[in-house]
Structure 1
Amino acid sequence: MTDSEKYPENIFISLNDLLKLEHFSKGFSFLASKQKVRSILGGKHASKLRGRGLDFEEVRNYVPGDDIRSIDWKVTARTQKTHSRVYSEEKEKPALIVVDQSKSMFFGSIKKTKSVVAAELAALAAFKVLKEGDRVGGVVFADNGIDIIYPKRDRKNILRFLEKIVNRNRELIDSKPVEFEKALTETLSKVKNIVTHDFLVIIISDFQRYRPELIKFITRISRHNDVILAKVYDPMEQSIPDRKLIAGDKEKQLLIDGNNAKLRTDFKNVFEDEFEQFKAKMKKHRIPVLSIDTVRETDVQIKEILKRT
C-alpha cells in the first residue's frame, strides 16, 4: 500500500502539501499596525499586538524634522540645547506556533479534517514569520507526545517543524485520546520554558475543551507576549444536517436523528454559546480569536481575516 493510499489527501497531510503553501504565505500580516481599523487585530487589539517594537539607541542633537515627541527634555534642560532620543526597530520578534494534532482534530465532514487545516495554517504562519525576518519555532501537541522545535531564523528549522506535524498527523490513524489535563500540563510547562517576553504565540486548535486550565495558561502567556488563537472547526460541529446520521469510531457507533428540529437547534446553540463565551473571556485580555473552517481554502480564509491595509 502506497502512502497516498494509506494516508488519503485531505484526511491526512503530507510534507509536500505543506511546502507548497510557502508560495501562498503573503498578502496578510499578524501585525496590528498593518491591519484595517475594524480588523480583528486592529482597534483594541492593536495595543496588545505590538509588532517588533523599538530599541533605544542614543541621544543626539535635535535635527529639524525630528518628531517633537522624541525630544529628551531632561538632557535638553541640562545642556540647554535641544536633544532627541533615537530609536531603531527591534531586529526580531520571535514566534512560537502551537498546533494541536490530538484525536479531536481528526474529524471532517465535507472536505478536510481539522488536523489537516491546522497543519496548513501552521505552515502558512511559519513561512510568513520567516519572510518577515524573525525566528520561528513550534510545538506539536498530540495524543502520543509533544514535539518541540526551538525558534530559529532558518528555513531548515521550519522543515523540521513541518515534518513533526506530518508525523503526528499520521499517528492519528491509530492513536487514542489521553487524559487532557495531564497532556495539557506537560505541554504548558514546555511552552513556558521557551516563551519569555515579546514573543508572538499562535495557538491552533479546535478549542473544544474550554477548560479553566487552558484559559488560565493562555492569559498568563499573554501578559508579556502577543497571543493569537485560531479555532479550527467543521460545519457539522456547528450544525447537524437535517437527516439521520450514523457517527462512530472503531469501537462505538451513534445514531443521530437530524430530522429532529429541536435537536438541531439545541446543538447549534450549544456550539455558538460556548464559543462566544470563550471569545468573551479572551477579549477581556485583548486576545483575538480567529475562526477557520474545514471547507474553504485555508490561505484564502487567513487572508480575508488578516488582509493587509
Structure 2
Amino acid sequence: MATDTAELLKKVRRIELKTKGLSNQIFSGEYHSAFKGRGMAFSEVREYSVGDEVRTIDWNVTARLGTPYIKIFEEERELTVILVVDVSASDSFGSVEQLKKSVITEICAVLAFSAITNNDKIGVIFFSDKIEKFIPPKKGKTHILRIIRELLEFKPENPGTDISMALRYLNNVVKKRSIAFLITDFLDNDYETSLKLANKKHDLVALNIYDRRENEMPKIGRVLFSDPETGEMNWVNTNSRKLRQQYAERAQMREVHIKEACKRAGVDVANIATNESYIKPLRNLFSKRS
C-alpha cells in the first residue's frame, strides 16, 4: 500500500510539473483573454455622456434624478470553472502513444492550473452513464493536486456514457454561471438538446478526445474486437476492404454529427487526438474565443 501511494504521488508530481509549466508559459494569458470579461458584474452608475451605449441606461436612476445615468460594469474578478469529465470505460482505449484517460488527465490539470493562476475556483464532475463523483469548486494548489490524484486513480462503477445526464446534473448542482468544459469522446448519441440547455446557463466548451484507430481500421487479419462500454466481443476480418471502408465512413459521420450538434448548440469544440499534442488545438480554441 505504501508503495502504491508513493507511486501515485510520483505520478501526480510528474503531471504537476509538466502541466503547470505549460499553463504558466502558454495557456494562462490565453485562458484569461478567452474567458475573463465574459462574466460582468454591476459596479456603479455615472451620468450619461455622448457616445455611451443607450442600452446601458439605468432607467430607474434616470427617472429619479431627472437626467440620464448609465450602469457601469466591471469584469468579475472570480469565475467558477467546472470540468465535466467522461470516465467511462472507453477512456481506457488508446492505440498509439497514450490512453484517452492520460490525455484527459493532463488537459484537466492544465485547465486547473490556468484557473487558479487567474484566481478562479475549479470543480469536477466525473460521469459515466451515472454521476460517479462531484468535487465542488474551490481554489488553491492543494485542491488541484486532489483533482489530479482523483483523475489518476478513479475507477468508475459503470462503463457506459450518458452526456445528457451529466449536463443536466451540471445545471442542477452549479447554480452560478460558470465556464464548463465537457471533456469526452462523445461515444453517445442523443445529447444535442442538453448541450443547448447547458450552454444557456453556462459558458460551455467541448473537448472531443479521440484515438485515430477509432477513425481507421488497420489491415491486420482476423481480430477479436471488444466494446469496452458494453463488453460485447466479435471477431472481425480487417483484411476486408469493404469493412474498413464502412468503418471509416461511420467514423466520419460521427465526427460530422459532433461538429454539427455543437455548432447548433452554440458550443465551441476542439478535437484532440491521443497521438498528437493537445497544445495546438487548445491554443486554437482559446484564440478563437478571444
TM-score, structure 2 normalization: 0.79
Take 2:116 and 2:51, find their aligned partners in 1: how far apart are those partners? 31
1:177 aligns with 2:159: yes
> Which runs of structure 2 are paired with 1:286-297 in the superposition (5 Å)?
286-297=266-277
Take 2:187 and 2:37, find their aligned partners in 1: how far apart are those partners? 29
- After superposition, the CA RMSD in angstroms is 3.7
Deviation at 1:184, TM superposition (A): 6.9
Structure 2 residue corresponding to 1:115, chosen from 101, 104, 109: 101
**Is contact 1:138-1:150 (8 Å) kept?**
yes
Deviation at 1:3, TM superposition (A): 5.5
Take 2:233 and 2:132, find their aligned partners in 1: how far apart are those partners? 30
1:207 aligns with 2:189: no
SS at the partner of 2:136?
Answer: strand
Deviation at 1:56, TM superposition (A): 1.9
Partner of 2:150: 164
What do residues 138-188 of structure 1 show as CA deviations (whole Å, max 9, x unaligned)? 1122589712111112222212211111111xx47xx7725x56x974x45
Partner of 2:53: 69
Q: What code does the residue aligned with 2:200 have?
A: R
Higher helix share: 2
SS at the partner of 2:262?
Answer: helix
Deviation at 1:23, TM superposition (A): 1.0
Deviation at 1:108, TM superposition (A): 0.8
Partner of 1:264: 244
SS at the partner of 1:14?
Answer: helix
What do residues 12-40 of structure 1 show as CA deviations (whole Å, max 9, x unaligned)? x93223212111015347989946xxxxx
**Is contact 1:102-1:143 (8 Å) kept?**
yes
**Is contact 2:268-2:285 (8 Å) kept?**
no
> Which runs of structure 2 are paired with 1:2-81 in the superposition (5 Å)?
14-20=11-17, 21-26=19-24, 27-28=26-27, 34=33, 51-61=37-47, 68-69=52-53, 72=57, 74=59, 79=65
**Is contact 1:103-1:143 (8 Å) kept?**
no
Deviation at 1:96, TM superposition (A): 0.5
> Which runs of structure 2 are paired with 1:240-259 in the superposition (5 Å)?
240-244=217-221, 246-248=223-225, 254-259=234-239
Take 1:247 and 1:307, find their aligned partners in 2: how far apart are those partners? 42
Partner of 1:226: 203
Take 1:67 and 1:130, find their aligned partners in 2: how far apart are those partners? 37
Deviation at 1:72, TM superposition (A): 3.4
Count of residues in Structure 1 that have an aligned counterpart in Structure 2: 279
Deviation at 1:296, TM superposition (A): 1.4
Take 2:149 and 2:32, find their aligned partners in 1: how far apart are those partners? 32
Q: What code does the residue aligned with 1:150 have?
A: P
Q: What code does the residue aligned with 1:281 have?
A: A
**Is contact 1:52-1:93 (8 Å) kept?**
no
Cα 1:286–1:143 change in 2 (3 A) is closer
Unaligned regions of 5+ residues in structure 1, if any?
Answer: 8-12, 36-48
Cα 1:252–1:95 change in 2 (3 A) is closer
Q: What code does the residue aligned with 2:212 have?
A: P
What do residues 50-88 of structure 1 show as CA deviations (whole Å, max 9, x unaligned)? 84332222222457xx85227738556875656443221
**Identity of counterpart residues, as a percentage?**
24
Take 1:67 and 1:197, find their aligned partners in 2: how far apart are those partners? 33
1:285 aligns with 2:262: no
Partner of 2:90: 104
**Is contact 1:96-1:136 (8 Å) kept?**
yes
Q: What code does the residue aligned with 1:68 have?
A: D
**Is contact 1:99-1:119 (8 Å) kept?**
no
Deviation at 1:126, TM superposition (A): 1.3
